[in-house]
Structure 1
Amino acid sequence: MLTLSSLPPDFHENPFPYYDQLLAHAPVHPQPDGSYILSKHADLERVYKDTTTFLSDKRAAFAPKFGAGTPLYEHHTTSLVFNDPPLHSRVRRIMASALAPRAIQRMEVGLIETVDALLDAMPSNPDLIEDFASTIPIQIIGNLLDIPMDERGPLRDWSLAILGALEPVLSDAQLQRGQDAVREFKLYLQDLIARRKAHPGDVDTDVLTRLIQGDTQGQLSEIELIQNCIFILNAGHETTTNLIGNGLAVLHDHPDQRAALRERPDLIASAVEEVLRVASPNQFGNRETAEQVEIGGIVIAKGTNLHLCIGAANRDRDVFDDPDRFDVSRKPNRHLAFAGGPHVCVGLTLARMEGRIALGRFLARFPDYEITGRTQGGRVRFRGYSALQARLNS
């Protein structure tokens, strides 16, 4: 059975047989450190909805992991995803207003232009991650925060280093890269924010200006502002890169579904949802119990860390018919790729738009592309490719 601190050699390539074992035999599965893996869809939904019993605050867990007061500790205990109400509610309200549907809708034309420019410049034998999937969210988030084009170079590496530090087991080198990335990104944002305060942007399109100004109920503190700008990059970069990359790989591996989508391009929205289900960019979430609780007949003590296995819940046979089948027309599709409850992903509308436009326009331009090589990213929490070589047959 699955132990996160000592994974089997084939886990990163194909974790799904291990998820099947969890669902069938141990949906509440103890770990050697006293934590538990939860894999049932209903259990994850319950946890997501109950922010009183199941806490997102990770100060106690992250102090020994990162070191109290270190850059990684400051970031991950201040950003939206690892906080509870009332702080979570206040920060989320301001971020949600900055990412309002009107603002996102205005981004669609620019997103299409970005995707088409990448497709126009695509080499005949590209790396679909480097040359396409990873570039799109970096440009979109750069546009959101109005980061000058010539200052966007370090963004991806910073994001990968910071999110890489969330893995269950870290090397000293990984930890140091994460600490350095937060430190460097924070210094950059302090300068960018000072420039933006001196010369505010359009509040309807410039998310950074919107975040600086806050809303009628208040403003973010400087630390909250900086760390949640980092969060916007991290949440929107790797997950969207993986959504696009995983989508291209899954469609390649299911030629019947690729053909169905080519014949019916109107299925692109449901196809994106199905990619999110079968190859969720975010495979695990975490919560901590605020009190003793019973889940699946097992009594779990207060202060216990819970690993929420999204990848398994998205294949739960109690919720999804024939869950191992990839079906671009699947409806309903109650996947948990964006989590749920008060912590449901604040940028889900933007992510869906990026996936829809990127995958739809790529497939229209290169309907017969071939994947010639692939390298998994080697993460537990996040699933995606670090490289995806292809041959284009336009």
Structure 2
Amino acid sequence: MNMQSQSESIAPPLPFNPRSPEFRANRYPTYDYLRTHHPIYYRSEGNDWVLTRYADISEVLKNPIFGHAQKSIVSLETGTPAPINNFLGLRQESQRLMKLWLVRQNPPTHTRIRPLLRSAFTQSHIQALRSHIQTTVDDLIDRVQDLGKMDIINDLAYPLTLGLNCKILGIPPQQWHPQFKQWSVSLSLSLDLDVTPIANEQGLLAIAGLAEYFKSWIAQSRTCSQPQDNLISTLIQAEAEGQLSAEELLANCILIFAAGHSTTENLIGNSILTLLNHPEQLHLLQADPSLIETTIAEVLRYESSVHSIPRTTLSDIELSNQTIRQGEIVHCIIGAANRDPAHFPNPNQFDIRRKPNPYLSFGQGIHSCIGIHLAKLVTEIAVNIIVSRLPGLSLATESLEWEDSFMGRGLKSLPVVF
């Protein structure tokens, strides 16, 4: 058990309660207070730490001492007794598959698997998707143009990012499962900070559903006589060459599906909302579309779709005069680091011309997001087309509802008129 100094142990007047609706509606006053008064904040109820300062978070993300520790999960292949019913068997398999995700690996396993997944996100692969992305965005806007209204999330961001993710994996639209959306939401909430028992079980069920789906699709992909240019085929080939196991293949298909579209979907929504809330910046972008790259960079800093990245301490370490013990979890609050005044001038000002802009939204170090360039390209194209084709864009309501997740930051819907 860690003991902080007397000043550090005083509970802040703005309690860090990630499940509070008030906090989720506007997190930044709490972040500011914690960063100023309790930048390395120990939560006795969870025996974990909340970090809000840019320098500390950057150190954690780059330091290999902060990695991922796995709780032991019994494999069903080791001769242990079979589970007492099918539900428990699915639950155990879901836990085992989560353990095999790339984002939960340390070297050397991480070093072995990451290049295999990264192969689908090279610059050449990404640039080859540019015209497809542009055509898809235009088609989605064409469907609603005559209506004079749309939901940025459900009419554009979700189908765009899901379709692109499935294209990368090699899943054609006619093979999409009707539960994709619900599985994605349930899985996201099960990975949240201070997750509820119900959300945890729903997440395990979502993994079980995705596992059944991908087992079938992988089996079907194995029958193709010619290698296909998609990630699943690449991973099947890697498995055949002994570079990863069948379970690692399945687990990381689920990971890429779950992580590959939700954060970009949220980033598109956050971009449009932030621009609408800053009309002078929106008009600046509309007058000069070449500002789109710095615009999305500023959204990533100002209203990131990722607000927290967890790490586990693999051995005792001192961080800014605080001792963090082996096995303790450290929550790197990216949303707070991105508004640290020690690193960003006027951090609460949204400025689409901001340079330099070293935001931490995609992480740092060996675990940085492999889809960073694709996420930025998709968002840049989508936002530029939206603001150019719909110049009279405005919010259809002031009552917007954020997703229930703390670690992710996104809207459930974003209705607009034009």
Coarse TM-score class (shorter-chain normalised): over 0.9
CA distance in 2, matches of 1:174, 1:302: 27
Per-residue displacement from partner, 1:186-235 (whole Å, max 9, x unpaired)? 111111111111116655x4121112112998432111111111111121
Query: Match for 1:318 among 328, 342, 354?
Result: 342
- State the SS of the aligned residue for 1:36: strand
**Alignment match, 1:187:** 212
Query: Match for 1:264 among 273, 284, 288?
Result: 288
- Within 5 Å, give how 1:213-232 maps onto structure 2: 213-214=237-238, 218-232=242-256
**Alignment match, 1:27:** 39
CA distance in 1, matches of 2:354, 2:173: 39
CA distance in 2, matches of 1:6, 1:15: 9
**Preserved contact between residue 308 and residue 331 of structure 2 (Cα < 8 Å):** yes
**Alignment match, 1:330:** 354
**Alignment match, 1:365:** 389
Structure 1 residues 251 and 19: CA distance shift in structure 2, 3 A: same
**Preserved contact between residue 190 and residue 203 of structure 2 (Cα < 8 Å):** yes
**Alignment match, 1:387:** 413
Query: Match for 1:242 among 253, 257, 266?
Result: 266
Specify the code of the residue in structure 2 equivalent to 1:333. N
| Cα drift, residue 5 of structure 1 | 5.7
Cα RMSD over matched residues?
2.2
CA distance in 1, matches of 2:225, 2:296: 36
State the identity %.
31
**Alignment match, 1:155:** 180
**Preserved contact between residue 3 and residue 31 of structure 1 (Cα < 8 Å):** no
| Cα drift, residue 157 of structure 1 | 1.9
**Alignment match, 1:175:** 200
**Preserved contact between residue 156 and residue 237 of structure 1 (Cα < 8 Å):** no
**Preserved contact between residue 137 and residue 382 of structure 2 (Cα < 8 Å):** yes
**Preserved contact between residue 212 and residue 219 of structure 1 (Cα < 8 Å):** no
**Preserved contact between residue 38 and residue 44 of structure 1 (Cα < 8 Å):** yes
Per-residue displacement from partner, 1:100-157 (whole Å, max 9, x unpaired)? 2211111111111111110111242222111111111100011111212122232222
CA distance in 1, matches of 2:240, 2:214: 24
Mark the structure with the bigger radius of gyration. Answer: 2
**Preserved contact between residue 403 and residue 412 of structure 2 (Cα < 8 Å):** yes
CA distance in 1, matches of 2:324, 2:158: 40
- Within 5 Å, give how 1:92-241 maps onto structure 2: 92-122=114-144, 123-152=147-176, 153-199=178-224, 203=228, 205-214=229-238, 218-241=242-265
**Alignment match, 2:81:** none
**Alignment match, 1:377:** 403
CA distance in 1, matches of 2:402, 2:174: 29
CA distance in 1, matches of 2:367, 2:395: 35
**Preserved contact between residue 90 and residue 208 of structure 2 (Cα < 8 Å):** no
Structure 1 residues 24 and 130: CA distance shift in structure 2, 3 A: same
Name stretches of at least 5 consecutive residues in structure 2 with no aligned partner: 1-11, 74-87
**Preserved contact between residue 151 and residue 414 of structure 2 (Cα < 8 Å):** yes
CA distance in 1, matches of 2:359, 2:225: 39
CA distance in 2, matches of 1:352, 1:96: 16
CA distance in 1, matches of 2:175, 2:198: 26
Number of residues paired by the alignment?
386
Specify the code of the residue in structure 1 equivalent to 2:125. A
| Cα drift, residue 176 of structure 1 | 2.9
**Alignment match, 1:55:** 67
CA distance in 2, matches of 1:26, 1:338: 24
- State the SS of the aligned residue for 1:29: strand
- State the SS of the aligned residue for 1:59: coil
Structure 1 residues 124 and 195: CA distance shift in structure 2, 3 A: same
- State the SS of the aligned residue for 1:190: helix
| TM-score (norm. length: structure 1) | 0.93
CA distance in 2, matches of 1:288, 1:245: 31
CA distance in 2, matches of 1:55, 1:388: 36
Structure 1 residues 247 and 202: CA distance shift in structure 2, 3 A: farther
Matched, 1:38 2:41: no
**Alignment match, 1:15:** 27
| Cα drift, residue 283 of structure 1 | 0.4
| TM-score (norm. length: structure 2) | 0.87
Per-residue displacement from partner, 1:74-99 (whole Å, max 9, x unpaired)? 23211111111111111101111232
Name stretches of at least 5 consecutive residues in structure 1 with no aligned partner: none
